[in-house]
Structures are given as C-alpha cells and as structure tokens.
Amino acid sequence: MCCFSRPVQSVTGTNIFARAGEAGRQFLVYSMTLRATEELAMILPLPVRLHSGEHAVQFVNLERYGTFFDDLRKGFPEPVAAGRGLPGKALQPMATKTLQVIEVGSFEASFVPTIHDFARLDARFRLPVGIWKQLPPYDTYGFAVFKLKPGSKTIHPMAFTFPRADAARLFFPTVHIHDGTVHATARFDHALYCQKTASDGFSLAAWEESPLLARQFVATHKSAGIVLPDRHCYRLKIAGPRKNADIWLG
C-alpha cells in the first residue's frame, strides 16, 4: 500500500494499474482510501533506468476521471450464486536546488531521482531516520512523491509514466511503510490491474481476464492514453497478510 512519511490511521482499497509503454517506459496508476491526521507524503519507489534525470517521470492528471478504477472493476463482474440475488537518521547531503513540484489535480507531486535527493524535500515529506538502510534494493531507485492533505478520503487516481530499468517486467509498488518501520509482513487489501502488449512475454495465468475489451467498460478517451481500448484487462486481488514486498510481472 506504499510508503508514508508520517503515520496513517488506515489505508484501504488500494488499486494499481500497470501497462508497458513505448521506448521502455511503464504507465502506473495508483489510488487508495486514506485516513490521516496530518499533512504527509505518499512515496512510491520506482525502478527507473539509471541516470534518467530529474524529469524522467511524467505525471498525468486524471482528476476528471475519478472513476478510473470503478470502471476497471466493471470489467470483472462478480459471479452470482444460483438462487441468490446480487451480493450486497535520514540521508541529508548538501543540496543547492529544490526539486520541481507539479500540480496534478488535487495534489502536488515531485520526482525524487535518488535516495540522496530526499534532502531537497521538506522534512514532512521524507521517510524517518534510517529507513533506507532497511531497504537496500532501493539504492538505485527513483521515487514518485505525492503530497496529501489530512482527513479521510479516497484519493483520485495518481498516474504517471517512467523509464524502466528492466523493460521486460511490469512493476507494482506494494511495499508498506505506514508507521515509520519496515515490517517483514504486511496486511494487503489490493486489486492489481494490467494490460498485456504484444511485446510482453510474462504469464498472466494467475490473473483474471476481463470477458470484454477495455473500450467496452473503460472510458479510454478519458484515460490519457493509459488504457488500450482494444485489449483485455487483467486483475489480481490480494488480501490478508503476506510478505512485505513489491510485486513484479515477468
């Protein structure tokens, strides 16, 4: 359910969509229901291509398509049982230039190209002291950072595209850090969605396939090119405790 710079009261209903883009890039869309008492940042680690620079991530505004995941969900009708009705210390090197902040719908977003560049963000939007030493795989990652307001709300879809370090695999950011500690296991409440392109070689045997093409249940003209209209979508639902790790396809 991602990483937060401050403790949160609850995070539920996480939805993530991923698709391979052109030139080795990946689309990623993220949404969840959040309850927090203070302003904070949601941080998504990204396996970006090395030396991609500060403008490697391109943010997409889906504020006007707040039902993005509601529509995706329609592509996977739930079965109805026979005779029943419908179911109801932080790294802080010297920095001389702050990171770019972009308005993306109802929140602000920044791309942090390396762990060391977190020092260029306000302290409220960094992870606690020493956290990165518990997460060695992220030494070569970049980070999408979304600044969120306090309260109880469903965050409208946060979308962007990034250059992948490994263009043969799709990445889903699912590591949890909700209380300043990296736990070995975490409780998941996720629905992962994806589309497979002609060049993808990974298997989706464990995923549900939508009976219809995406254009028959998604307003693809409102998705800024993220959802391919003439391909099926796939879903994997994950609930309950499991290893606290990111998920890869491929």
* 84 band by pLDDT with thresholds 50, 70 and 90: very low
**What pLDDT sits at residue 87?**
43
**What pLDDT sits at residue 208?**
98
* Region 2-77+94-249: CATH code: 2.60.250
Read off the pLDDT of each residue in 32-51 and give the average, rounded to a whole number.
91
Specify the pairing of strand 234-243 against strand 208-209. Answer: antiparallel
Model pTM greater than 0.75?
yes
CB-based contacts of 195: which residues, under 8 Å, 6+ apart?
Answer: 19, 214, 227, 228, 231, 232, 233, 234
* 98 band by pLDDT with thresholds 50, 70 and 90: low
* 122 band by pLDDT with thresholds 50, 70 and 90: confident
Query: CB of 107 within 8 A of CB of 158?
Result: yes
More confident residue, 168 or 93: 168
Q: How far is CA 179 from the centre of its chain?
A: 19
Return the minimum-mean-pLDDT range out of 5-9, 70-74, 77-81, 234-238: 77-81
pLDDT, tens digit, for every residue of 155-180?
789 999 999 999 999 999 999 888 87
In whole numbers, what is the pLDDT of the chain averaged over residues? Answer: 88
**What pLDDT sits at residue 103?**
55
Query: CB of 88 within 8 A of CB of 127?
Result: no
Query: CB of 43 within 8 A of CB of 173?
Result: no
Neighbour tally for 169: CB within 10 Å: 17
